[in-house]
Homo-oligomer: A and B are copies of this chain.
Amino acid sequence: MPDEFDLIAQLRQRAETRAPVEIGIGDDAAVLHHPHPTREVVTTDMLMDGVDFRWGEAPPELIGRKCLAVNLSDLAAMGARPTAAFVSVALPRTFPGQQIERMFQGLFDLAEEFEVVIAGGDTNSWDGPLVVSITAMGDVTEHGAVLRSGARPGDSIYVTGACGGSLQGRHLTFTPRVREALWLQHQFPLHAMIDISDGFAADLHHILDESGVGAIISGEIVPVHADIPSDWSAEQRLTAALSDGEDFELLFTTPVSDLPNSCLNAHPQTPITKVGVVTAEPGCWLRSESSGLAPLPKLGWKHALG
């Protein structure tokens, strides 16, 4: 692997410095300039080999990409516009330098796509597995940050895209719903929002717990991703969609109960589906034609691949 200082020099060359970053890679710390009063959203995610990806089984570019993408997904879930990111790595000494560069390439490419400045980080080498820890920042729009705690009885619950089967490979290639979040916020009031990482049911529970409300989800309507084998039973497919996790779709509530089709299909690659309603009575329920109302537990995924 390349010498630590060589790698920093390379990253420094690649990293652009633009607002809000005034001083980027190369000093003891970065300096961000906020010329106006601002609300800044900050998120951090640590990804580890064998847990969030498997080095050697996926192209290094996709691994680097995912490490940033999950952070951008968190910013999207707050309704924030990403600005800057800090990338810390523990690099196994045995990794070839070229593959490490490819990992950073994938990360920088996604950063460019979403206009994120890589403003700093910490590069280390060791005898353990690869660890990548990223802190990403963004600005809220004039609509403010969208929290988990804002769901109100009577809200409708929507989800972008489709859920389930992400570990087939989509967890490495998904597009964080940054653009969709900004667009949605602009179209109508969002009361609560989360990105689906632990799983549809688990993340819905997070919203309900934080908001002190309940929900009824229409089982037949939950969009099941094509990555889930089509020869599974309807029930198996629904369970996978509700529990698999790593979908990185947006789950949100809004008082608008009937989004016009122009909204639902504004992003052809990212349809929006109404999947349920928020209730004043706590509790999370799944409604299906076959078996009526049944409790929908957290199910969910415990941060471990396969």
Contacts and interface: CB of A to CB of B under 8 A. Distances in A.
A40 B20 CA distance: 10
Given A37-B37, A74-B28, A74-B29, A126 B80 contact: no
Contacts of A128: 48-50, 128-129, 131
Nearest to A133: B133
Contacts of A84: 42
A30 B90 CA distance: 25
Given A31-B39, A39-B32, A88-B45, A50 B120 contact: no
A119 B42 contact: yes
A78 to B, nearest CB: 5
A31 B84 CA distance: 15
B29 A75 contact: yes
A135 interface: yes
Main secondary structure of the interface of A (DSSP, over half): strand
B120 A78 contact: no
A1 to B, nearest CB: 13
Interface string A179-198: 00000000000000111000
A126 B42 contact: no
A90 B37 contact: no
Count the copies: 2
A34 B145 CA distance: 14
A120 B31 contact: no
A264 interface: no
Given A122-B46, A128-B129, A302-B4, A30 B37 contact: no
A306 interface: no
A34 B33 CA distance: 11
Interface in A7-49: 22-23, 26-46, 48-49
Interface residues of A, number: 64
A143 interface: no
B120 A29 contact: no
A133 B36 CA distance: 30
Contacts of A302: 4
Contacts of A31: 39-42, 78, 140, 145
B126 A50 contact: yes
A127 interface: yes
15 contacts: A27-B148, A28-B78, A28-B148, A29-B41, A29-B138, A31-B40, A32-B40, A36-B37, A40-B40, A42-B119, A44-B133, A44-B135, A45-B88, A46-B89, A48-B124
Given A29-B77, A46-B90, A90-B131, 4 more contacts: A30-B42, A33-B38, A42-B84, A133-B133
Interface of A: 4, 22-23, 26-46, 48-51, 74-75, 77-78, 80, 84, 86, 88-90, 119-122, 124-129, 131, 133, 135, 137-138, 140, 145, 147-149, 193-195, 210, 302-303
